[in-house]
Amino acid sequence: MDSSQDYVIEMLHITKEFPGIKANDDITLQLRRGEIHALLGENGAGKSTLMSVLFGLYQPEQGEIRKNGQPVVINDPNDATALGIGMVHQHFKLVEVFTVLDNIILGAEATGALGFLRKKEAREKVQALSEKYGLRVDLDAKVEDITVGMQQRVEILKMLYRDNEILIFDEPTAVLTPQEIDELMATMKEFAREGKSILFITHKLNEIMAVSDRVSVLRKGRYVGTVNTADVDKQQLSNMMVGRPVQLEVTKGPSKPGQEILRLDHFCVPSHLHKRNAVNDVSFTVRAGEIVCIAGIDGNGQTELVYGLTGLDRSNGGSATLCGEDITHWSIRHRGKNMSHIPEDRHKHGLVLDFTLEQNMVLQRFREKQFQHAGFIDAGAVRAYTEKLIEQYDVRSGQGPITRARSMSGGNQQKAIIAREVDRDKPLIVAVQPTRGLDVGAIEYIHSQLVAERDRGKAVLLVSLELEEVMSLSDRILVMYEGEIVGELDPKKTNVQELGLYMAGAKRHGKEATA
């Protein structure tokens, strides 16, 4: 490439230390003008720290940042903006009750005499940008009323409005439908063609292969290397990222469904947000020895369905039958008799973060005879049990059983929950986004555990937003849209595109919706 010396931003030999951790250890990242550069790494590899350094949120101990070959000092985000660096954060930074237009101009308001806003000019500029790049937004809608996809377009317009030429996307596809992801990829390519430079942070290999020109890989705070995307394949990238060969595909044999474990009949759960039911008239069964997956875009009632099923919330219609018993009105504790639950939010529900690992391991079981005598907890038994689980499920932590859950890495927190729930050995496992935010290595492990449990004759109800996970792990797919099951698919006979149409509500029960 002839423009190899034309680096718009260079981060050279950046080292950033936190107490006890070298978050960035001699990392070099060079972004060419007009390229899409992917930054790949597991959780905790140092991607966020590096970006925070670029944004002036942290000052590195060593290394320098150059813009167009000139060393620059970035002390705070305002400096970064002045240098033309813009970022779409994973969790959008929008004011919910402001309109789209107000959000876009916020912080870069054009004002006239006496400090009055000159919104008309701003509106024209935003409209022009919106048309030019096909970023459809409703400028007068409030952010809280628009879809996540549109919110992301608002974030992108925010960068364009500020004439940023270096655009950073932090995990931008996590919340999008397959169709929206395609649109985003096209937009990114369009930006690159115009000479804008894009830094694309992700751990999804497919997207890197589809859109990026080069990839820089970080592992455990260290720089592994930069490669041209065209020269590598997914397997090589994931090996670079994890540092060892990783099984990308889930290996599993055909399922052998046995007796019915869970049955939902016309099950309804009320919504806390609106008057309608969040889960409306849902019926399905899960049998022993199969993984049934509820697919859908976030916020279509999956969370409420699980709450209603596990007892965290009350259902207001229909019934749930578990192992032949009507559990519709049972308490959470009672339901736990035949059900284990890997919760969606491991910090909210899954763990008591200020408890130690061993205290967390017996969160449901501390009342069992094994762990208490006459109301006194048998600390020895709890310790022994925890050590057994740590050993068996390879849960890693600084101080073993007495580690505070809060100080463990996300992957190991999740492993601990999985160990606890799987070891409770219940006929039904409800797993909600069990791999969310985890890296390839941990995902591989968790998938193999779920398949192993299936093969041991457990019924697994999996709720996932990750299409790849849905396609590779499930034996049957139920698609949820606006609180209803709109389709049942066989993963062997469908593809991501069809699944996406169901998830977006464009298709239901095999018929085209009249939209």
d(CA 130, CA 278): 33
> Closer CB to other proteins, residue 255 or residue 315?
315
Q: Which is nearer to other proteins, 173 or 414 (CB)?
A: 414
Two tokens at 481? 């849209």
Enumerate residues 237-256 that contact other proteins by CB under 8 A: 242-244
Binding pattern to other proteins, positions 272-311, x when CB under 8 A? Answer: --------------------------------------x-
Q: Nearer Cβ to other proteins, position 156 or 462?
A: 462
By CB under 8 A, residue 63 contacts other proteins? no
Half-sphere exposure of 471 (CA within 13 A, CB side): 14
Shortest reach from residue 457's CB to other proteins, in Å: 24
Task: Name which of residues 324 to 343 contact other proteins (CB under 8 A).
Answer: 331-336, 341, 343
Binding mask 119-158 for other proteins (x = CB under 8 A): ----------------------------------------
How far CA 310 is from CA of 232, 307, 324, 449, in Å, comes to 44, 5, 16, 21
- Give me the torsion for CA of 266, 270, 276, 281, rounded to 10°: -10
Burial of 442 (0-12, 13-18, 19+ CB in 10 A): buried
Phi, psi for 419 (deg, rounded to 5): -60, -45
Q: Residues with Cβ < 8 Å from 29, sequence gap 6 or more?
A: 9, 10, 11, 14, 37, 39, 50, 216, 223, 226
Question: Which residue, 350 or 505, has its beta carbon nearer to other proteins?
Answer: 350
Query: How many binding residues for other proteins (CB under 8 A)?
Result: 52
Of residues 339-378, which lie at the interface with other proteins (CB under 8 A)? Answer: 341, 343, 348-355, 359, 363-364, 366-367, 372, 375-377
Measured from the CB atom, the residue of 438 and 470 that comes closer to other proteins is 438
Q: Determine how β-strand 428-432 pairs with β-strand 376-377.
A: unpaired
| Dihedral of alpha carbons 49, 50, 56, 62, sign | positive
Nearer to other proteins, 46 or 487 (CB): 46
User: In this structure, which amino acid lies at residue 382?
Assistant: V
Nearest-angstrom CA–CA distance, 23 and 223: 11
Pairing relationship of beta strands 7-18 and 62-67 according to DSSP bridges: antiparallel
**Interface positions, 13-42, toward other proteins (CB under 8 A):** 19-21
Q: What is the number of other CB atoms lying within 10 angstroms of the CB of residue 338?
A: 18
Q: Which is nearer to other proteins, 131 or 391 (CB)?
A: 391
- Smallest gap from Cβ 311 to other proteins, in A, equals 8
Give residues with Cβ within 8 angstroms of 174, minimum separation 6. Answer: 90
Of 111-119, 256-264, 317-325, 392-400, the window that binds other proteins (rule: CB under 8 A) is 392-400
Phi, psi of 136 (to 5 degrees): -70, 120
Nearest CB to other proteins, comparing residues 97 and 332:
332
Minimal distance, residue 399 CB to other proteins, in Å = 5
Binding marks (x or -) toward other proteins, 435..474, rule CB under 8 A? ----x-xx--------------------------------
Letters for 203-232 (x = contact with other proteins by CB under 8 A, - = none) are: -----------------x------------
Binders of other proteins among 400-419, rule CB under 8 A? 400-402, 407-409, 411-412
Rounded least distance, CB 12 to other proteins, Å: 24
Instruction: Specify whether the CB–CB gap between 385 and 378 falls below 8 A.
Output: no
Complex with other proteins: residue 276 or 337, whichever CB lies closer: 337
CA nearest 42: which of 447, 440, 443, 469? 440
Q: Which of 431, 440, 436 has the alpha carbon at shortest distance from 458?
A: 431
Residues that bind other proteins in the complex, under the rule CB under 8 A: 19-21, 44, 220, 242-244, 310, 312, 331-336, 341, 343, 348-355, 359, 363-364, 366-367, 372, 375-377, 379, 387, 390, 396, 398-402, 407-409, 411-412, 439, 441-442
